[in-house]
A and B are shown apart, each in its own frame.
Chain A
Amino acid sequence: MKKSYNVEVDCANCANEMEKSASKVNGVKEVSINFMAQKLTVEFNDGADEKAVMKEVVKACKKIERDFIIEL
């Protein structure tokens, strides 16, 4: 399953770093951040608990940029 979220990321390099960090979260098959459109797209593994996975994804992204904002 694929889902898109609106995010606020300040720098293009941070977006790249976040992608890398978020893609390591359990239950995430693929994650990509479109810096220009300010969108984060997550493809979940089958049967993954979406909410729990997203919590981890946000945590991973905040590690890169502390004031990272996401509309869940």
Chain B
Amino acid sequence: MNKKQKRNLIRIIISAVLFSILYCIPTTGLLRELSFIIPYLIIGYDILLNTFYGIKNGRPFDENCLMSVATIGAFIIGEYVESVAVMLFYQIGELFQSIAIKKSRTEIKKLLDIRPDKATIITDTGEREVLPSEVKAGDILIVKVGEKVPVDGVIIEGSSSFDLSLLTGESVPIEKDVGDEVLSGAINVNGVIKIRAEKEFLNSTANKITELIENASSKKAKTENFIKKFAFYYTPTVVLLALIIAVGVPTGRIITGVDPKWNIWLYRALSFLVISCPCALVISVPLSFFCGLGGASRKGVLIKGSDYLERLSKTRYVLLDKTGTLTEGKFTVIGVHHNKIEEEEILKYASLAESFSTHPIAESVKRAYGKEVDKNIVKAVKEYGGKGVYAEIDGNKILVGNDKLMKDNGVTYIKCGSVGTVLHVAKNGEYLGHILIGDKIKADGKVAIDNLKRLGIKVKMLTGDGDKIAKSVADKLGICEVYSELLPSDKLKIEEDVINDKEKGEVMFVGDGINDAPSITRADVGVAMGAVGSSSAIEVADVVIMDDNPVKIGTAISHAKRCMRIVYENVIFALFIKIAFMIAGAFGVVNMWMAVFADVGVMVIAVLNAIRALKVKGEENERTVSLR
């Protein structure tokens, strides 16, 4: 409890005790009524003051006003006991609400705060524990097992596995060695390492992500703005209705010649006012959104505002970039075909011949071979631009290259039926087979697309790559609509067409955040993938998927749908209970203090329901067996 809450609790206790004493003292008449003013003022002075300031500042209709009018009115018609009781209950409810909200807020914040809380610096005099914010770039830090990496840095000693689940939602640990970059927020799993700080705490990944989540709701959803507008019209309407009950009904009764029963109708009007407090409704919506954003971020999906959560839930079209989004975005050897000797032998000859090259294709061959090659045995290397390379290895004449190179040298080769870059290998004019190099489809690509289709979403793939490659990738993933050989401006054009043609729903573009920045910015929902550690990608996108698992696109959409359902549930539930009680109050079925309890009850249920949005469902689909 903070100061204000403690003060209110003391006020409640004093007022309640005084109220009980006065209730028991056998006074009568005006003296009794006047004596109840004391506990009333103790418990209600701030409400009265706020009402006064509200009127002075030109906003007469708010909760304070409702409570003041109702309780003062009750006093005047002689229901002073009930008046003080209602004020007491109201304040207890308010206190309860403020404690509940504060508690859920701190809990959620703690959950979302992935910032490390300490760092261990190595100085000349030994190890020293400091706050992460005191670390300067260039400092040498030690990270022990189980600790979070305090700032972004590079490993200078030792090696270990790191659990990046706080950053990406992915709990499979990743191996890092000397020279590798480690991000703050990663948890060191099994080995002591030393790192050199590369960035200060403020610019480190963990702090950036935490700040992003905390500032996320700055863009408000339509639903939130609706509630805002609703509250604006709601209170005056309620006051008007109360007036009708208090004045209109008795007047009508006089006209029709029945006893007007002023007191009863006035009392009912006042109960009506108390019931109408819109608190539960107003609080449950931002809380649901906050929990929704928080839940997503724990799964490695950062949503930059409740606005985008709402739009995500309405996504009907998903445009996907191919390279880096659906495929791994780097060249990999995907097969060795028609080989007359061991696969490894072919890869060895190819890596030897390419050992002086730094071309991505050469790199992929070297990676596939995986062993150090002895460059000393490679002689007379000659590169043929756009064709391949010739080298003499152990006195053998080796040719590595495409169809053209083989033709030029009169080697009979076997054409490759698969899509990708083909490297033929020939030794002393004899054909050995070929290596197929391509961009591998991500293991979960097919599942990701299937999930999107199941959600009723139209999927289109856009790529700058050639027709053949695009078609083959799309076929494997089950995407029917493919646009290939596009320049970035063409992608934007197609996107615009979809945005303009759409019947309803939002258009999402998913890319890597760097090459596709314009398309991501233009989309209703711009999604950047694999963004961990890339601050520019985080800048441009509305939704950031921290790791590179495309399944999370679907997960994010279904999570958003679920969150919006919770929001609507809360709104409808709170409205329904309110209206039911208002009608009951108007007909004298419930009294004032029952109404106050109903309000607190609705609030508690709405808060509990909102907290469900913290959980992300459907994770069981996320990990699947690799396609290859």
Contact = CB atoms under 8 A, between A and B. Distances in A.
Interface of A: 4, 10-13, 15-17, 19-20, 32, 34-39, 41, 63-64, 66-67
Given A36-B287, A39-B214, A63-B57, A13 B282 contact: yes
A1 B289 CA distance: 26
B621 to A, nearest CB: 29
B604 interface: no
A39 B53 contact: no
26 contacts: A4-B215, A10-B4, A10-B98, A12-B283, A12-B285, A12-B286, A13-B63, A13-B231, A15-B286, A16-B228, A16-B231, A19-B228, A20-B228, A32-B220, A34-B214, A34-B218, A35-B283, A36-B108, A36-B290, A37-B105, A37-B214, A38-B105, A41-B218, A64-B59, A66-B49, A66-B50
Q: Which of A12, A35, A38, A67 has the most CB of B within 10 A?
A: A12
Contact of B279 (A11, A19, A36, A37): A11
B215 A34 contact: yes
Interface residues of B, number: 31
A17 B59 contact: yes
Given A32-B220, A37-B290, 4 more contacts: A4-B215, A12-B282, A13-B279, A17-B59
Interface string B83-109: 000000000000000100000010011
Q: Which of B98, B214, B218, B219 has the most CB of A within 10 A?
A: B218
B217 A37 contact: yes
B278 interface: yes
A1 to B, nearest CB: 14
Nearest to A20: B228
Contacts of B215: 4, 34, 37, 39, 41
Contacts of A36: 105, 108, 217, 286-287, 289-290
Contacts of B278: 13
Contacts of B283: 11-12, 35
Contacts of A41: 215, 218
B390 to A, nearest CB: 59
Nearest to B306: A34
Report, nearest first, the 6 A-B pairs whose CB atoms are least far apart.
A36-B290, A34-B217, A13-B282, A12-B283, A12-B282, A63-B57
A67 B109 CA distance: 23
Nearest to B5: A10
Contacts of A20: 228
A16 B218 CA distance: 12
A22 B623 CA distance: 47
A34 B105 CA distance: 12
B217 A16 contact: no
A61 B487 CA distance: 50
Contacts of A38: 105
Contacts of A19: 228
A69 B549 CA distance: 42
Contacts of B216: 34, 37
Contacts of B50: 66
Nearest to A36: B290
Contacts of B98: 10
Nearest to A38: B105
Interface in B217-241: 217-220, 227-228, 231
